[in-house]
Structure 1
Amino acid sequence: MAKLDRKVFIFIFILILCAIFSSCQTAGIPLKDKRLTANNEIVETHGQLQNIVRLDAFINNVKNEMKDKVRLTRYTTEGDPIYHDLDYADSKLTFTMDTREDEFGQGAVTKSICKGIQKQELETETNYILTGCENESMKGLLTIFHDVDKEDNFAFELKYGVGKKNEINTKEERLIKDLQNGETVAVSDFQFSKKEMNQIYKLLKLSNYLGDKNLTTKCNKKPNKSYELNVWINSGERHFEWTECDHSPDGKEMTKLVHDILTILKKNPTYETLPKVKGNDE
């Protein structure tokens, strides 16, 4: 009886191993290819973006004929991943799309050899396009929409600088500039143009403002520049606070976001009429 039980146990164990092995072979990309580091994977989830700068770096490497490989993982409405692998080597760009983990997809792996990849930036959308592909239907890689008119509501408030004395508030149409001499100047009917708002919305999307951010307001430097950002999008709201001492990846990304927004602000006709300040105009 003991021998019989042992045989049954071995048989069941073999069946379990076979099932595990089978699932490893059929569950989308082989496991060895899933071990790409976070630095080499771009993720798009219902408009939310992670690590999009890595795709820009890939484009630059292809332009300079440098070997590179990245993955774009896009999640469907149901939460299923579709893998888009881009592999550039020997002046050849291989694009592989795997839909085997998409419940409503074709459940297949499709490859195409392309000549290159381009980033097309328009006012209301940014397109990543593969060029010279054998399979023309695969040339559209990713489109990022940033048209504020397509949203029911979009506004933001940014307070920044030493003591957060500077403020941009598109919800209340208020602009405050710290002159850094003990005085501030305010504009009560400030507005960005539609083009400027689209640019800022794009910056927010590229910074993945809807994602979770690990930020800190701690800073040993005195005085220090601190930041507070509120974003209203449709019926939702996002709030962030951090300082210039936050050198974490999220801190650096959010500080760059502020600098990019201020670059747009400083070209605004209304802002250009305001008095100059001493030192760094932030």
Structure 2
Amino acid sequence: MLKKISSIILIALMAVFISGCGLDKGTASDLPANSGQNKKPSSNEVKEIHGMMENIERLNLFVDNAQTGKDDKIRLTRYTIEGDPIFHDLAYHDSKLTVKIDTTEDKFGQGEISTYVCKGIRKHESETETKFILEECPDVTDLLTIFHDVDKEDYFSFELKYGVGKKNVINTKEQKLIKDLQNGETVAVSDFQFSKKEMNAIYKLMIFSNYLGEKKLSKECNQKPYEGYDMHVWINSGERHFEWSECDKSYDGQEMSELVANILEILKKNSTYQSLPEVKGQYE
């Protein structure tokens, strides 16, 4: 059953541009009711919607808790192409993992609830995929596989403008890089490229931030100077555009700002970027 769902992730990646995401690392409490794929998950719910993830950090926390023997419980809700939820309720208690899979709301599924008792759960990461694997579990092994291989897509590129006045630019579509030296000068590279490994890492960050989801973002900011952000993402035949400021402290605003911070960490390790002059001034 799980393998069937995993097999359609890549096919359905661009099927629907929906939903938001969260990064609440809360502790265990009551499992959430079905909130629908267009609503944000509760603190103890993780959603997988056609290959995009919401609240993935909560699943990471659950794995950490289970591996250290700490009781915890979460719900993983996965949506079919038709938009029907399949619930996976995971509970770790007394050194065992109980997994309950509910397909009663899947109109094309088996319409049943199955319960498995497993030894535990672990995460395996590679450059192109992230897998959550159930250990010593009858009939089921792979809980969730998330693919982040840019070579599997027909096309993937992005442009990010950021900083005060959005003078810094990363444009993989035009292979352009601009660095603001903050003294009235900028330096540009006209043939900039990330390595495949770096692009896969950035693509992974975007998937984990549910970049295809609808985001409620604000460009307003009542401080001067302030950092602004403008991001275009091109994936296959689709395009997404986001614009916000550092003053946007909403859930989506903080999620997108964290995404940018993580992309910049990858950029700073790039050899071409490291060869550029240091910032010479400072905005006040």
Please say if residues 32 and 75 of structure 2, whose CA atoms lie closer than 8 Å, have aligned partners that are also in contact: no
Q: Residue in 1 aligned with 2:194?
A: 192
Please tell me the residue identity of whatever aligns with 2:112: A
State the distance in 1 between where 2:231 and 2:253 align: 13
Compared with structure 1, are the counterparts of its residues 273 and 34 closer, same or farther at alpha carbon in structure 2 (3 Å cutoff)?
Answer: closer
Q: Which residue of 1 aligns with 2:119?
A: 115
In structure 2, C-alpha distance between the alignment counterparts of 1:211 and 1:62, rounded to whole Å? 30
Instruction: Out of 184-193 and 114-123, give the one that drifted further.
Output: 114-123
The code of the aligned residue for 1:151 comes to E
The residue type paired with residue 169 of structure 1 is N
| Identical amino acids, percent of aligned pairs | 64
TM alignment of 1:118-157, pairs within 5 A: 118-133=122-137, 135=138, 137-157=139-159
Q: Distance in 1 between matches of 2:244 and 2:210?
A: 16
Which has the larger Rg? 1
Residue equivalent to 1:49: 53
2:72·2:92 contact (CA, 8 Å) conserved in 1?
A: yes
Unmatched runs of 5 consecutive residues or more in structure 2: 1-29, 35-40
**1:39 to partner: Cα distance:** 1.1
Q: Which amino acid aligns with 1:164?
A: K
Residue 244 of structure 2 aligns to a residue whose secondary structure is: strand
Q: Does 1:88 align with 2:92?
A: yes
Q: State the shift of 1:64 in Å.
A: 2.7
Q: Which residue of 1 aligns with 2:224?
A: 222
| Deviation (angstroms), 1:34 | 4.8
> Is the 8 Å Cα contact of residues 96 and 119 (structure 2) preserved in structure 1?
yes
SS at match of 2:43: helix
Give the counterpart letter for 1:125 in structure 2: E
The TM-score, its normalising length taken from structure 1, stands at 0.84
The one of 254, 257, 264 aligned to 1:255: 257
- Report the Cα distance in structure 1 between the residues aligned to 2:251 and 2:72, rounded to whole angstroms: 23
Residues 252, 189 of structure 1: alpha-carbon distance in 2 compared, 3 angstrom cutoff:
same
Runs (4+) off by over 4 Å: none
Q: What is the CA distance between 1:48 and its match in structure 2?
A: 2.0
* Counterparts of 2:161 and 2:54, CA distance in 1: 25
> Could you tell me which residue of structure 2 aligns to residue 8 of structure 1?
none
The one of 35, 57, 60 aligned to 2:33: 35
Distance in 2 between residues matched to 1:65 and 1:252, nearest whole Å: 31
- The superposition leaves residues 233-264 of structure 1 with CA deviations (integer Å, 9 ceiling, x where unpaired) of 11111000111111111111101100100111
Q: TM-score, normalised by structure 2?
A: 0.83
CA offsets 1:28-85 (integer angstroms, 9 cap, x no match): xxxx965387111111111122111111111122123222111111111222211111
Aligned residue number for residue 68 of structure 1: 72
Check whether the contact 2:31–2:45 (CA below 8 A) recurs between aligned residues.
Answer: no
Residue 278 (structure 1) shift: 4.5
The 3-state SS of whatever aligns with 1:264 is helix
Matches within 5 A, 1:18-29: none
CA distance in 2, matches of 1:97, 1:278: 57
CA distance in 1, matches of 2:70, 2:247: 35
- Name the counterpart of 1:235: 237
Q: Give the corresponding residue for 2:267.
A: 265
Unpaired segments ≥5 residues, structure 1: 1-31
